[in-house]
Amino acid sequence: MAIFLTGSTGYIGGHIVAGLLERHSDSLNLLVRAKNRREAELRLWRALQLHLDFPRFHGFLHSRIAIFLGDLTDAQFGLPDDDYRRLVHSTDSVIHCAASLNRKSEKSCLNVNLRGTLEVVKLAAAARDLHGLRRISHVSTVAVAGQRSNEVVREEESIDWSRSDYDPYARTKKFCEHMIREFLPDVPRTIFRPSIVLGDSRRGETTQFDMVQAFVFLAGLPLLPFRPTDRIDIVPVDFVADSIVALHQKEKPAHDTYHLSSGTGSQTFRELTDALAAARGKRKPIYVPGLERPFTGLVNALANRRGAMGYGAALLKVFIPYLVWNTVFDNTRVVSELGRSPAPFSRYSLPLLKFSRENRFTYNYKEWPRTASPANGRAEGEVSTVGRTVG
């Protein structure tokens, strides 16, 4: 039997896969969008090389990973009937991590988040009806809390259907949680809501740069249009992934919903910028909260331009609402269960900034070694839906 996981080639998903492979013995059923087995293996190698050297990765491909070539939004993930049945028969728990984070595109969020989650729910229900399902874990977001201001939000207070949402991403993720609760009421479930996931507290290297680019841009400004005492809830990806892996594998977690956040330990803008300025030997920025509105207007105007400036402004436009709401998400539950708190952003922000700037917001992926064959022994490019017999 195996854990079925979506989003394995994504940033958080790659960390989750690595954690499961390194600290647990379960086999993994991974849904990967690719034309053939070879392309899927290459995508997985890119997602996991932050965590594993190639020999270990290749060994896991042979021994513990089954790749299912499919699309989250297609009926039965677009799998042939035999392969879908194999997936149902071999799955004893589910971690649903895949999502569209395109906060500007309602179409993308509706397709991937809602239709995709519905297909995951149908798979989970089929496995439950056939042989039982140990657990379904869903990676959501604190943004389901909707528009907030100057608050500390607890898990049970997050969902308020009368409250407006910031964007299509937040709105569709709220409905995803609702679907899982309504359609799988008898299946043990865990809902994880990460806050702003930015960097890894153990290393400066990253493969995810959208929010990092916004952070680096702001770090270079002499004036900042924020209130210096506002808190910003940033959490490192390693804490998020460790929490998901540990609680999904725990027999009886204490709760069904967890904020994966920095909570009341979230640092203020001033704490963050003072620490970064001291580490870099630079001047501290000046805070001018009165510039928030004109700054937002300028960002909105620049977001329509082409080129690097337009791209950076478009990224910042998406994240500005989350930077000015001065709202944090209580993390008492997860800290109690894990026995540790997430590392503060000021502790690892400089390595992240240096790596991102020095590498021009790219990650230098390693190629597949020429001497290594595909894990299933087929010639390069040959189509294979499932890499091994499972169940």
For the chain, the domains span 2-358
Percentage with pLDDT > 90 across the chain: 81
pLDDT in the model for residue 103: 66
Q: Give the C-alpha separation, 142 to 306, whole Å.
A: 31
pLDDT at 384 > cutoff 70 = no
Asked if 169 and 109 count as a contact pair (C-beta separation under 8 A), the reply is yes
Of the candidates 73, 350, 369, the residue with the CA atom closest to the CA atom of residue 204: 350
286-287 and 223-224 beta bridge pairing: parallel
Q: How high is the mean pLDDT of the chain?
A: 92
- For 286-338, what is each residue's pLDDT tens digit? 999 999 999 999 988 988 888 877 777 777 887 888 899 999 999 999 999 99
pLDDT in the model for residue 311: 76
- For 16-60, what is each residue's pLDDT tens digit? 999 999 999 999 999 999 999 999 999 999 999 999 999 999 999
Fold for 2-358, please state it: Rossmann fold (3.40.50)
Sign of CA dihedral 30, 36, 41, 47: negative
The tokens of 164 are what? 């407006």
Q: How confident is the model at residue 262 (pLDDT cuts 50, 70, 90)?
A: very high
What's the average model confidence in pLDDT over 172-179? Answer: 97
Distances in Å between the alpha carbon of 318 and those of 45, 48, 105, 212, 231? Answer: 30, 28, 11, 13, 18
pLDDT in the model for residue 362: 96
Full DSSP string of 327-388: -EE--HHHHHHHTSPPPPHHHHHHHHHHHHHHTTT---PPPPPTTPPPTT-PPTT---S-SS
pLDDT at 378 > cutoff 90 = no
The tokens of 328 are what? 């944090």
Q: How confident is the model at residue 264 (pLDDT cuts 50, 70, 90)?
A: very high
Burial class of residue 210 in the structure, from the number of CB atoms within 10 Å of its CB (0-12 exposed, 13-18 middle, 19+ buried): middle
pLDDT at 389 > cutoff 60 = no
Distances in Å between the alpha carbon of 364 and those of 32, 358, 360? Answer: 22, 12, 10
